[in-house]
Amino acid sequence: MFPLNWVYCFFCQLLNRNMNVHTSYWLLAGLLLWAGFVGCEQDFSHQILPPYPGDRLVLNAWLNPHQPLEVQLLHSLPPLAPADTLPVVAHARIKLFEAGIFIDTLRYSDSGRYSLRPAFYVQPGKAYHFEVEAEGFPSVTSHPELVPLRYPILETHHLDSLFPCSGCPAPYNAAQIIWKAPQKHYLRVNYRGEFNGESQGLGSQSFMIPNPSEASICATGEIWQNLPCLKEDVFVLFSPLTDYLSVQGTPHYYEHISAQIQFISSSYYSFLVSQQQPGDLERIFLYPNNIFSNIDGGYGLVAGVNDTLVDFP
């Protein structure tokens, strides 16, 4: 008999990414019910489902100095609970603190969103946290979250025809980003291409960039680098891109390549790393991984982001 805990862990891994708690419970219950009908001899008791500790607040917020501060507050749902509406929490008391000093209490708008009036913008290099109280739920507190600094992007290049590909309609091109930063930081890059007025994602990358004194030195004479490296006193990232559409075997290159470069907090980086999943076969032998959260007493993520848009000429 195939071990049931392997099946359970496999399905948990499949459900763990990009699904809320309620959806995961519903799908997992359905899969287990299906397994029972096809002849599994195990008794599918409630213990198969992940333990549910009771309703908890779910707090999510982006700390981006280029956008007005906004928080979304939801609550978790028990297994098999109806999900006709978004589980918003509309009558909470959310306090904002900057460097440990109380700033103001956020006001509810709609769909679980809270904000300040007039609009409030966080400041790079400063730390913020929230304290939340709502009737019927345990109170929650977010960890202090530092808004990242944004370092100058010195150069961007779109490099042509560098990667011949056997059996591909055209060679791969590449994007090169050069920037300068004096200390350890975290970086996420989201590439996009435009063709005939339509925009399409070309992939994203996330990195932990060490202090310049600890960074890998770019190899002499090599353009391509698998990870960001240091060249003299600047960082260089070289990313191969499949930057064309293939229509009946004919390549159509994107007319415009751009990227959203995000300097992100260590918390956001930890969250992204926690979402990385092993291959399908490997998942069978692993227990579900824990998605990173920096909310004490509840769930969710408060993430610091400082972004900029660049083009690749």
* Residue 69 belongs to a domain: yes
Task: Enumerate the β-bridge partners of residue 259.
Answer: 191, 310
Task: Tell me how many domains the chain contains.
Answer: 2
* Residue 270 belongs to a domain: no
Q: Do 140 and 180 belong to one domain? A: no
Q: Do 162 and 244 belong to one domain? A: yes
Reported as a pLDDT band with limits 50, 70 and 90, residue 210 is: very high
Q: Do 201 and 157 belong to one domain? A: yes
Q: Which domain holds residue 99?
A: 58-148+293-307
Of 14-18, 204-208, 307-311, the least confident:
14-18
Per the listing, tokens 């100058």 go with 152
* Residue 44 belongs to a domain: no
* Residue 248 belongs to a domain: yes
- pTM, two decimal places: 0.77
Give pLDDT tens digits for 240-263: 877 777 776 677 778 888 999 999
User: CA 28 from chain center: how many Å?
Assistant: 23
Q: Do 245 and 158 belong to one domain? A: yes
Q: What CATH number has the domain bearing residue 70?
A: 2.60.40
Q: Do 161 and 256 belong to one domain? A: yes
For residue 152, cis peptide bond before it (omega within 30 degrees of 0): no
**Order of strands across the sheet that contains 113-115:** 107-108, 113-115, 70-75, 57-63, 299-311, 256-264, 185-195, 198-209
What does the block give as tokens for 248?
């009946």
Number of residues assigned to the chain: 313
Q: Do 259 and 303 belong to one domain? A: no
Residue type, 231: K
Q: What CATH number has the domain bearing residue 189?
A: 2.60.40.3230
Of 80-89, 114-123, 181-190, 276-285, the least confident:
276-285
Q: Tell me, what's the pLDDT at 215?
A: 92
Q: Do 67 and 125 belong to one domain? A: yes
* Residue 269 belongs to a domain: no
How much is the average pLDDT of 299-311? 94
Average pLDDT, the chain: 78
Q: Do 144 and 171 belong to one domain? A: no
Q: Do 130 and 226 belong to one domain? A: no
